[in-house]
Amino acid sequence: MSAHGTPIPMQSLAAGPLTGTADVPGDKSISHRSLILGALSMGETRISGLLEGQDVLDTAKAMRAFGAEVTDLGGGNWRVQGVGVGGFAEPDNVIDCGNSGTGVRLIMGAMATSPITATFTGDASLNKRPMARVTDPLALFGAQSVGREGGRLPMTIVGAADPVPVRYVVPVPSAQVKSAVLLAGLNAPGQTVVIEKEATRDHTERMLAGFGATITSEDSEEGRVITLTGQPELTGQTIVVPRDPSSAAFPVCAALIVPGSDVLVPNIGLNPTRAGLFETLRDMGADLTYENPREEGGEPVADLRARFSPDLKGIEVPPDRAASMIDEYPILSVVAAYAEGQTVMRGVKELRVKESDRIDAMATGLRANGIEVEDGEDWWIVTGRGHGNVPGGAEVESHLDHRIAMSFLCLGMASTAPVRVDDGGPIATSFPIFEPLMATLGARIERLA
Ligand code: S3P
């Protein structure tokens, strides 16, 4: 892992066709939540298909520090022996969440209404990201926080000894903020209400209900109103983690742009709060089908089949779809480079505060590789060059951002000259098997000395 170590430069060369089956790892969002909710429950939670990426491993370590017993049983199977709502112990040491915004923000929420103090830190990327969006609502419960200037990590949270319930309108479209408030609301008496103007991923709500909390969601004029009854007894569950649509995006998009490709990506969770990319690709003319659609563990699931799509067209992505594909804009911009015409992406300011400023990272790297990009504070436009016309040939910076690294490696799979990435190490945070899996399909990704 290069987040704390030596960079791993990589290059991707034109290859193909990509064929075969891509078994992508478990969903990152659901994996974090499985560990945290397991730790906040009484009894045993059994998890299969957990994503064993560095982000989730850091959350597992953090749950141990707060007193839960977390055991790796091998083969993606994990056991969590929880301490119950309000049962977190004070950690002996600083909690290092590595690269993970989801990990740190959800854990801050989960501990903020217990009478304990914890200090959080992360890597150079995480320590630049805004935390006030979480500590502001946590203060309403009675928690205190002291961090670096601008609400940055490292940061200490002093949990509320006598928490009060909260009614909070989330000011930015963020499932992490919503989830932090709901997890804090677990140990406050009475009803905590969270209102989101734009619907974001709803795994926390679904999983809280599954662990035994009383929680309702209603659409109103104000937006989606989520009401949680505090101090429930959560009970350990058996969880089968669906595969991650955000990871599936890479083999799917690579197949669309590499001539002759035909790739099957089985068992992908298609929760409507996550599936916006696939709709967008279809709107662009992608040969992408959902095979064998079904329900698993209360979530819609299908096998995705992606084939080379020679007639991709740029489109205006509906801004109201942004939350359902927020992590997929980097790889969408790669597909846009291979489409004819402009792909316009608006209402995406949140991209500027992810693991990197993703608009800037992609725009800079795409331009270096011969693609025209315009950008402003909350929008960007990629002018595609069509198949066979993407020059490539440049080295780009991944800025400690896994999705930037994987996106540019996909760009190189069909460009005239190879695309180099300064550091592919961060890929291990979410998709540790990316290199071998893409190689099995026929991609040529090389590590450079
Ligand atoms: C996530 C929410 C999103 C997303 C992140 C995972 C989650 O972040 O970008 O990768 O699991 O709740 P925001 O809440 O900042 O939008």
Ligand 1 in reach of 350 Cβ (< 6 A): yes
Could you give phi then psi for residue 191, rounded to 5 degrees? Answer: -100, 125
Measure the CA–CA gap between 52 and 31, rounded to whole angstroms: 9
Q: What are the start-end ranges of the E strands in 203-314?
A: 215-220, 223-229, 238-240, 262-269, 287-296, 299-307
Ligand 1 in reach of 201 Cβ (< 6 A): yes
Measure the CA–CA gap between 118 and 69, rounded to whole angstroms: 18
pLDDT of residue 5: 76
Query: Residues 256-291, buried b or exposed e (16+ Cβ, 10 A)?
Result: bbbeebebbbbbbbbbebbbbbbbbbeebbbbbebe
CATH code, 10-26+242-447? 3.65.10.10
CA–centroid distance, residue 177 to ligand 1 (Å): 9
Could you give phi then psi for residue 272, rounded to 5 degrees? Answer: -55, -25
pLDDT along the chain (449 residues), means of 10: 74 95 97 98 97 98 98 97 98 98 98 98 98 98 97 98 98 98 98 97 96 97 97 97 97 98 96 97 98 86 97 98 98 99 98 98 98 98 98 98 98 98 98 98 95
Q: Look over the chain and give the mean of its residue pLDDT values, rounded to a whole number.
A: 97
Contact (Cβ atoms closer than 8 angstroms) between residue 199 and residue 273: yes
pLDDT of residue 295: 86
Nearest C-alpha neighbor of 412 from the set 357, 369, 362: 369
Query: What is the Rg, in whole angstroms, of the alpha carbon atoms belonging to the chain?
Result: 21
Nearest C-alpha neighbor of 444 from the set 12, 9, 8, 10: 12
pLDDT of residue 116: 98
pLDDT of residue 1: 38
Contact (Cβ atoms closer than 8 angstroms) between residue 44 and residue 71: no
pLDDT of residue 449: 74
Instruction: Beginning with the edge strand found earlier in the chain, give each strand of the sheet holding 316-317 in spatial order.
Output: 316-317, 340-346, 379-385, 372-376
Cα 33 to Cα 105, 257, 304, 352: the distances in Å are 11, 34, 25, 24
- Closest C-alpha to ligand 1, atom 15: 174
Do the domains 28-239 and 10-26+242-447 match in fold?
Answer: yes
Which of 36, 97, 108, 176, when mutated, tests ligand 1's pocket best, judged by the most ligand atoms within 8 Å of its CB?
176
Residues serving a catalytic function are 327
Q: Which runs of consecutive H residues, i.e. helices, occur in 40-185?
A: 54-65, 101-111, 132-141, 175-185
What CATH number does domain 28-239 carry, 3.40.630.30, 3.40.50.360, 1.10.3720.10, 3.65.10.10?
3.65.10.10
Q: Which atom of ligand 1 is nearest to the CA of 326?
A: 9
148 annotated as ligand-binding: no
Domain ranges of the chain: 10-26+242-447, 28-239
Measure the CA–CA gap between 293 and 112, rounded to whole angstroms: 40
pLDDT of residue 2: 42
pLDDT of residue 20: 98
pLDDT of residue 299: 80
33 annotated as ligand-binding: yes
Query: Residues 367-377, buried b or exposed e (16+ Cβ, 10 A)?
Result: ebbbbebebee
Ligand 1 in reach of 102 Cβ (< 6 A): yes
- Closest C-alpha to ligand 1, atom 4: 327
